[in-house]
Structure 1
Amino acid sequence: MTPQLTDDEVGKTVIDAEGKELGIVAKVERDRAYVDPNPSVAEHLLAKIGVEGDDEEDYLVTEDMLESVGDEIRLRGDI
């Protein structure tokens, strides 16, 4: 079963299949996460309290790219 993305994922760390940190979820919209690869301290804190945001650096992660969603979001190794 494919993991689902919800607004609860805002602020979570996104890692690749090898455990490398890729950024934090800045925003979730229509089952897609927008990941900020270089969050500032302010952006990190705002995301932790549920304030969504996005900017031109963010990249898109879709549900079919996910291995698991828990305390952190892990991407599949074959993407």
Structure 2
Amino acid sequence: MTATLSDDEVGKTVIDAEGKELGIVAQVDGGRAAVDPNPSVAEHVLAKVGVEGEDEEDYVVTEDMLETVGEDIVLRGEL
């Protein structure tokens, strides 16, 4: 079963299969998440309250790339 993304994931940390932090979810839209790879403290706070949005430095993570969605979002190892 593939993990799913919802607006509840905004502000969560994205981690690769080896445990490396890759950034935070800035926005979720239609089964894809915009991930900010270098969030500032202010961007962390804004994401937690749902104000942060996608910008040009963000990269996209799709549901088929996910291993688990919980307190953090963990990507599959075989991407």
- Fold-level similarity (TM above 0.5): yes
Aligned to 2:35: 35
Q: Which amino acid is 1:60 matched to? A: V
Alignment gaps of 5+ in structure 2? none
TM-score normalized by the length of structure 2:
0.97
Once superposed, which parts of structure 1, at least 4 consecutive aligned residues long, lie more than 4 Å away? none
Aligned to 1:49: 49
1:4 to partner: Cα distance: 0.6
1:42 to partner: Cα distance: 0.9
Report how many aligned residue pairs link the two structures.
Answer: 79
Residue by residue, what CA displacement relative to the aligned partner does 1:14-63 show, whole Å, maximum 9, x if unpaired?
00000000000000001100000001111110001122311110000000
Q: Aligned equivalents of 2:62 and 2:16: distance in 1?
A: 14
TM-score normalized by the length of structure 1:
0.97
Q: Secondary structure at the match of 1:19?
A: coil
